[in-house]
Amino acid sequence: MQFAINVGLLIQQLPKSTINAAYSNQLVRCSSSPGANYRAACRGKSTADFVNKLKIVEEELDESIYFLELLEYFIPDFRSAIEKLIKEGNKLLAITVTSIKNTRMPKQK
């Protein structure tokens, strides 16, 4: 949830333009999805359900990073703030991928 909040706070500060509006709208949607899907994964009905929901988290984080990179290109004045969010997104992505891999691994006896 904090990632979505941090992205939202950044978006509120961005200058108004056609590109910023389009990318920001998409970023609001994809950056809020990981938190919601993670919550759903925690209530998964099975291991497969848990992994499938985490895969959605992975995809949405990757998409969020993509749109942050686009904004970074078009709004260089916000580069520092955007880079922090990209780092945060990459950390969350790494945690998610590790969780998926660890869940898929057969347990050793």
At the topology level, CATH places domain 2-104 in de novo design (two linked rop proteins) (1.20.1440)
- The pTM of this model reads 0.91
Which residues have C-beta within 8 Å of that of residue 31, sequence separation ≥ 6? 3, 4, 7, 8, 60, 64, 89
Which residues have C-beta within 8 Å of that of residue 78, sequence separation ≥ 6? 10, 13, 14, 71, 72
Contact 45, 58 (CB under 8 A): no
At 107 the pLDDT is: 63
pLDDT tens digits, residue range 31-48? 999 999 999 999 989 999
Tokens standing for residue 55:
């895969």
At 56 the pLDDT is: 97
pLDDT tens digits, residue range 22-33? 999 999 999 999
At 104 the pLDDT is: 81
- Segments of the chain scoring below 50 in pLDDT: none
Length of the chain: 109
